[in-house]
Amino acid sequence: MAERGFPEAEFHRRRDALQGEMARHGLDALLLTSAADVFYVTGFLTRFWESPARPWFVVVPGTGDPVAVIPSIGAALMGQTWLSDIRCWDAPFPGDDGVSLLADALAGLVPEGGEIGVPMGLETQLRMPLADYADVAARIAPRRFVDGTAAVQRVREIKSEAEIDRIRAACGVADRAFARVGEYAAAGVPLERVFRDFQRVLLEEGADWVAYTAGGAGPGGYGDVISPAGSRPLQAGDVLMLDTGAVRDGYFCDFDRNWAIGPADDTAKRAYGALYAATGAVLRDLRPGMLARDVHGQFIRELAARGTVPGGGRLGHGLGITLTEWPSFTAHDTTVLRAGMVLTLEPGVEIAPGVIQVHEENIVLRADGAELLSARAPEALPELT
Amino acid sequence: MAERGFPEAEFHRRRDALQGEMARHGLDALLLTSAADVFYVTGFLTRFWESPARPWFVVVPGTGDPVAVIPSIGAALMGQTWLSDIRCWDAPFPGDDGVSLLADALAGLVPEGGEIGVPMGLETQLRMPLADYADVAARIAPRRFVDGTAAVQRVREIKSEAEIDRIRAACGVADRAFARVGEYAAAGVPLERVFRDFQRVLLEEGADWVAYTAGGAGPGGYGDVISPAGSRPLQAGDVLMLDTGAVRDGYFCDFDRNWAIGPADDTAKRAYGALYAATGAVLRDLRPGMLARDVHGQFIRELAARGTVPGGGRLGHGLGITLTEWPSFTAHDTTVLRAGMVLTLEPGVEIAPGVIQVHEENIVLRADGAELLSARAPEALPELT
């Protein structure tokens, strides 16, 4: 298992990288509000984000260290991070829930007329009340909020070796858990019991928590990949898929595995074989400098060449502090792939109307190509009997 | 166990209640983007919200049924809900990630010059890219986005009997899991192993997933209630606290329990006794018509009268589809408490600087007072040996 947490040097590197991108984009500060961005800059790790009651703010100035503006309930935990400037209010406080404290912090850190980057683009959300955001914007004028998405994403998308180690550890948890599915999944077992046992085993194998599980099961394939489990028992002829975002030390894995319940039919086996081969081709050819849409294109070609109908939607994405990160392997994403990106390869095929099969592996892109972080799926569809 | 899901009549009731509040607030529609609001209106339940990649929209018009404007990946699952008008795009799509589809839907459902409520206030977040929100606002002019927080909160805060049954079932899961802590927590066991086993047992006792666990352990008390677990082993003289938001059928419980590791000292016992008694007094006196701040005030008085130092922050809150909901038992929250609200009573005391003890129970407020949903905590601090 990788060591817990990060040395302070890791956070200095992140600060410096963000400030470099900020300078390139003409930003005088960044205002960060999401669990992922705050964790990235500070190391502040808690499941308390599950409570929508309170906003949390970190300001990264153009030079110098980040400043946390947070509810008092987080003072002790934030006090254990590398940050020294931590400003608190007793939230939730109707009428001024951190608004004046945040506005004062921004006014003190950003020159008049300065621009403050806020992630506003694709795959971002502002995690604070919208009315309070407008209020802060009015208070800090003539300073302005502008889109800071690119500055954050160009930095976060390149993982350090320490981050890659964490994601590899999370993948190892899932590898070990997937190897044990035969202990509890079999014909006659309701899918909801399989989901519950899968989460239990992920914890036993070292997950700190299980932020995401999904899956499906049905004759030859399943209907979608985001549904919660129902009470239908597994049946001979089903293909079962389990997918997970298990978290270890604040980092996710995100990959799935498929099994046939009893002997698989030829259609399911062919779909599996095509997905395995298409993944192999991308694993072989992926290089820095390609665009995200190139990966999508290769998947579509490889799957079609094997006589299968490629699935719609994105066929993989970034991964790390959240279950999914940019870029997206769609026909439209022109993000340049670079060494240090951690990515999922997630091709899918449609076997029949409303019946799909999806594979997924996690990799880190190196200068010379893809390095697997998940153990490679079996070459042929495994059977549970 | 309560039955899964809800009959369609439950969603008709919710629609009607929202439209009633919308009429009172002069709103021609509501735009909902959060997992909780979307689930409330539609029954659409998935852990896929863990992926920040895609926004999801539900529009509640002034009359008629809600309209879902969602990524295609959710079409199959949303198709199983009671909604019939489901409009999809292939997300994530750079440049127009549902923006034109949402703007068209709003333009078709809301008259020119109409007002569309968006939750913007305390304890809300807009779950879509901020730049896209501004884009939609520009496209739908002269229709306007206005604050719809009150219309949503006045409806969601009153739980139906079906919802109360779900929360009671989630509380039952935690009750049974807390009763088994002695199976794995003892002096010498690292706190992180205790957390992992606690989550495992919550699953075994019927949680669909464990969205939240927190806790702490230290001599006589703990430092905060939001930290993840560390590797420090439990020691004689510690007070251990475990807190959970286990989810069943989309509804949370949120309460904690405390244990002494070996014999407890008198300070820890006195703190426990004061918290137990203060909770008992509020359980006895709570009535509809009181304000949220009245509960805070009673806790402060009851704790001080027993010679303890009341903790800061809020001393309880709403509960249901999310781990925490409004109102907040602070000195400042003037929300009127009404029958049908599900609430946590969460008093805390400071035993020494940086050492606290916190109790929590879940209740539903009835016309004649509080009805417990969690089993009452033991009257005296239990010991694990």
* Confidence (pLDDT) at B385: 85
Substitution target from B78, B173, B192, B203 for chain A, most A beta carbons within 10 A: B203
Can you give the pLDDT at residue B230?
Answer: 87
Q: Per-residue pLDDT for B19 more than 60?
A: yes
Domain co-membership, A299 together with A223: yes
Query: What's the confidence (pLDDT) of residue A228?
Result: 86
Which residues 110-129 of B have a C-beta within 8 angstroms of A?
A: 118-129
Residue B376 — pLDDT band, cuts 50, 70, 90?
very high
For residue A174, pLDDT over 70 is answered with yes
A57 and A176 in a single domain? The answer is no
User: Does residue A186 sit in the same domain as residue A219?
Assistant: yes
Query: Nearest CA to CA, how far is A210 from chain B (Å)?
Result: 8
Q: Which residues of B touch A70 (CB under 8 A)?
A: none
- Say yes or no to pLDDT of A369 above 60: yes
pLDDT in tens, A117-171: 999 999 999 999 999 999 999 999 999 999 999 999 999 999 999 999 999 999 9
With an 8 Å Cβ cutoff, is B313 touching chain A?
yes
Do A91 and A212 lie in one domain? The reply is no
The predicted pLDDT at position A3 comes to 58
Give the pair of three-digit tokens for residue A231. 């009470």
pLDDT tens digits, one per residue of A249-268 = 999 999 999 999 999 999 99
Confidence of residue B3 (pLDDT cuts 50, 70, 90): low
**Domain total in chain A:** 2
Task: List the single residue in B123, B125, B226 with the smallest CB-CB distance to A77.
Answer: B226
Work out the pLDDT band at A230, boundaries 50, 70, 90: confident
* Residues of B whose CB is below 8 A from A243: none
For residue A167, being part of any structural domain is answered with yes
CATH of the domain at A301: 3.90.230.10
Is residue A196 in a domain?
yes
Distance in angstroms (rounded) separating the CA atoms of residues B123 and A242? 34
**Considering B109, B141, B156, which residue would you say is the last residue of a domain?**
B156
Considering A133, A156, A179, which residue would you say is the last residue of a domain? A156
Question: Does one domain contain both B135 and B187?
Answer: no
What's the predicted TM-score (pTM) here?
0.97
Contact A46, B225 (CB under 8 A): no
Domain residue limits at A70 = 8-156
> What is the band of A2 on the pLDDT scale with cuts at 50, 70, 90?
very low
Say if B358 falls within a structural domain: yes
Would an 8 Å CB–CB cutoff place B238 in contact with chain A? no
Alpha-carbon distance B76 to nearest alpha carbon in chain A (angstroms):
7
Chain B positions in Cβ-Cβ contact with residue A195 (cut-off 8 Å): 208
Q: Does B102 fall in a domain?
A: yes
> Which residues face A244 on adjacent strands?
A213, A255
Same domain, A61 and A150: yes
Domain-ending residue, one of B156, B177, B198: B156
| B249-to-A38, B173, B205, B274 alpha-carbon distances in Å | 30, 12, 14, 35
Concatenated DSSP letters of A11-74: HHHHHHHHHHHHHHTT-SEEEE-SHHHHHHHH----GGGG-TT---EEEEESSS--EEEEEGGG
Query: Mean pLDDT, to the nearest integer, of A215-227?
Result: 92
In the predicted model, is pLDDT for residue B247 greater than 60?
yes
Spell out which residues of chain A touch residue B326, defining contact as CB-CB under 8 Å: 53
In this complex, which of B91, B97, B131 lies closest to A120 when CB atoms are compared?
B131
Same-domain check for residues A326 and A369: yes
**Same domain, yes or no, for A54 and A194?**
no
According to the model, what pLDDT value does residue A227 have?
87
- Verify that B26 and B175 share a domain, yes or no: no
pLDDT, residue A323, reads 97
- The pLDDT mean for chain B works out to 96
Q: How far is B267 from chain A (nearest CA, A)?
A: 22
Please write the tens of the pLDDT for every residue from A103-132.
Answer: 999 999 999 999 999 999 999 999 999 999
Query: Could you tell me if residue B1 is inside a domain?
Result: no
Query: What's the pLDDT tens digit per position in B277-305?
Result: 999 999 999 999 999 999 999 999 999 99
Chain B residue with CA closest to A225: the answer is B73
Residue at B128 is within a domain: yes
List helix spans (H) across chain A.
8-24, 35-42, 75-78, 99-109, 130-140, 149-156, 161-178, 191-204, 266-285, 292-305
**Shortest Cα distance, chain B CAs vs residue A314, angstroms:** 8
Q: Are A228 and B47 inside 8 Å of each other by CB?
A: yes
B141 and B126 in a common domain: yes
Predicted confidence at residue B2, as pLDDT, reads 43
Q: Mean pLDDT, to the nearest integer, of B21-31? A: 98
Q: Give me the half-sphere count of Cα atoms (radius 13 Å) on the Cβ side of residue A264.
A: 23
Whether the CB of A45 is below 8 Å from some CB of chain B: the reply is yes
Mean pLDDT of A221-225: 91
Annotate B151-179 with b (16+ C-beta within 10 A) or e (fewer): bbbbbbbebeebbbbbbbbbbbbbbebbe
pLDDT digits (tens, 9 = 90+) for B74-123: 999 999 999 999 999 999 999 999 999 999 999 999 999 999 999 999 99
User: Do both A195 and A296 map to the same domain?
Assistant: yes
**Quick one: pLDDT at residue A301?**
98
The SS3 call for residue B381 is coil
B250 — pLDDT class (breaks 50, 70, 90): very high
Q: Percent helix, strand, coil in chain B (nearest 5)? A: 35, 25, 40
Among residues B268, B319, B196, the alpha carbon closest in space to that of A50 is found at: B319
pLDDT, residue A1, reads 42
**Spatial distance between the Cα atoms of B253 and B202, rounded to a whole number of angstroms:** 11
Q: Is B92 on the interface with A (CB under 8 A)?
A: yes
B2 occurs within a structural domain: no
CB contact under 8 A, B228 and A36: no
pLDDT at B42 over 80: yes
Let me know whether A249 and A142 are in one domain.
Answer: no
Selected residue of A209, A253, A344 to mutate for chain B interface (largest B Cβ count, 10 A): A209
Share of chain A above pLDDT 90, in %: 95
Instruction: Return the structure tokens found at B354.
Output: 């940086």
Whether chain B has a CB inside 8 Å of the CB on A209: the answer is yes
Q: Within an 8 Å CB–CB cutoff, is residue A193 touching chain B?
A: no
Q: Which of A45, A203, A226 sits opposite B228 (nearest CB)?
A: A45
**Residue A311 domain-assigned (yes or no):** yes
Residue A287: the pLDDT is 98
Q: Taking 80 as the threshold, does the pLDDT of residue B1 lie above it?
A: no
> Which of A50, A180, A334 has the highest number of chain B CBs within 10 A, making it the mutation to test binding with B?
A50
- Residue B115 main-chain phi, psi, to 5 deg: -115, 130
Q: How confident is the model at residue B175 (pLDDT cuts 50, 70, 90)?
A: very high
